[in-house]
Structures are given as C-alpha cells and as structure tokens.
Amino acid sequence: MGNICRSPTAHGVFLKKLSDHNLLDKIKVDSAGTHNYHPNSPPDKRSQKHALNRGYDLSDLRARPVVDSDFEEFDLILAMDWDNRALLEEKCPEKHINKIRGLAEFLQKTQASVIPDPYYGGDQGFENVLDLIEEATDGLLEFVLKK
C-alpha cells in the first residue's frame, strides 16, 4: 500500500535469496506501493528492525508508487492483499493483467490468501509477516528458477 512495510520486506528478503543463489545479475527486484503515502521514505523502522534481526538489511530501500512503466518492465507484479491487487488490476493495461499475482500464492506450507499488514500491530505482526514472506519467497524462487 504505502511501500514501507510488507513490500520492502519482501524486496529485501528476495534480494538476499537471489544473492545467495548468484542470481542478482539475472533477476531485477523492486517494490512499490499502490498509494504514494510515503514518497522516498525508508521502510518502517519496525520492519527494518525485525528484518535486520534475521539478516535482511532494508535500510537502502525507499518508498515509491507503482508507475505505468512497471507493468511493461516487470514480468511479475506481486500484491500483498486483495485490496492492493484490485488497485493494481484497475491501473494495469489489459495486455499485462496476467502479470499480477499475489505473493501468498507462493506459500508452500502455510494456508493464507494474503500477507497481512503489520503496520497497526505489535512486534508479533512483523514477525508473522517475515515468516510468511520468507516462505513465499522460497516458493517464488522455485517458480522463477523453473521459468
């Protein structure tokens, strides 16, 4: 939504996994929000703290809104929840609509249809989001490697 919690967390986690597999030169990752609430802001301090505790440095990421060229440039555009997916689908040109998916679709064990927003919760919400994102990005990496 605002590109300061879930999306930059997924961005940082997936970048680390790509780095671990020597794939940074083959796969481009970026994150953006459906709303421009926090332009050029770093990720939420709580997101950064919890991510860093697990070895993911989000400090160099900055919030930005989804722009029209994203639909052309990227092969996959992953939404965190149904509201944001609907907003993406409204904005997306019809020829690229198949690029929009939910990150939760890549969960391998956990049954969840969305990655919940931890913004208004406590520490456990941020830990839960990290658990889900780590699992989903494992599935995403498997998916990307098969392509």
Cα dihedral 144, 101, 129, 70 sign: positive
Averages of pLDDT over runs of 10 residues in the chain (147 residues) are: 97 98 97 96 98 98 98 98 98 98 98 97 97 98 94
**CATH number, span 6-146:** 3.40.50.2300
**Strand partners for 139:** none
SS3 category, 65: strand
What pLDDT is attached to residue 74? 98
Structural contact between residues 135 and 108, judged by C-beta atoms closer than 8 angstroms: yes
Listed by start position, the domains of the chain span 6-146
For residue 16, give the nearest of 143, 70, 132, 8 by alpha carbon: 8
DSSP string, 20-48: HTT-TTT------BSS-SSTTPPPPHHHH
Q: Does residue 119 contact residue 130 with C-beta atoms inside 8 Å?
A: no
